[in-house]
Amino acid sequence: MANQNVTFDVASGAPYAVNLNIYGGATFSDKFTITNPNGSAFRLDTGSSGDWTGSAALSKSVAVGATLGVTTAFTVGITSAAGGVITLSLNSAVTRNLKPGRYVYDILVSSGSTVYNIVNGNVLVNAGIATDP
């Protein structure tokens, strides 16, 4: 599992850019530790209506600025609400069905009517080159 350290500034609202690699047929998991600009944890347990929830989607990129809509949704786990830690994952059955190529993704967190796009970026999906014997 890879670890990403992300600084999110609520005042700017701009997502942090992180590019990912996914290998077809392999389990994918990546941990994102989110901090405020002052270095403190972006707390996911003190939202406007209680705890925050997370969602993340992957979309096939067909041209600059164009996508085919949501290809698949990541499983999103808030693994440490007080520490600002989110984990994205896809099981091997899902990655096996992704066509190789360039995708885009984003991670949203929400509490009540407040929604932040915390992270976004490109995803390169690589096909496996070996086959089962």
Is the distance from CB of 89 to CB of 79 less than 8 angstroms? no
Q: Count of alpha carbons within 13 Å of 61, Cβ hemisphere only?
A: 14
Give the separation between CA 11 and CA 124, rounded to whole angstroms: 30
Residue among 91, 115, 117, 116 nearest 104 (CA) = 117
pLDDT at 86: 96
Q: What is the pLDDT of residue 48?
A: 60
When pLDDT is cut at 50, 70 and 90, the band that residue 60 belongs to is: confident
Q: Is residue 25 part of a domain?
A: yes
pLDDT band for 112, please (50, 70, 90 cuts).
confident
Q: Where in 8-132 does DSSP place strands (E)?
A: 16-17, 20-23, 28-35, 53-63, 66-73, 75-80, 85-90, 101-111, 114-126
The distance of Cα 15 from the centroid of its chain, to the nearest Å, equals: 11
97 in a structural domain: yes
Number of domains in the chain: 1
Residue 133 resides in a domain: no
Of the two residues 62 and 117, the one the predictor is more confident about is: 117
Residue 71 lies in a domain: yes
Torsion of CA 82, 21, 73, 53, to 10 degrees: 10
pLDDT at 65: 56
pLDDT-derived band at 49 (thresholds 50, 70, 90) equals low
Instruction: Output the pTM of the full model.
Output: 0.86
Contact assessment for residue 84 and residue 41, using Cβ atoms and an 8 Å cutoff: yes
Domain at 98, CATH number: 2.60.40.10
Domain span at 102: 2-126
Give the pLDDT score at 47: 66
Domain membership of residue 59 (yes or no) is yes
42 assigned to some structural domain? yes
Residue 63: the pLDDT is: 63
Query: pLDDT at residue 131 above 60?
Result: no
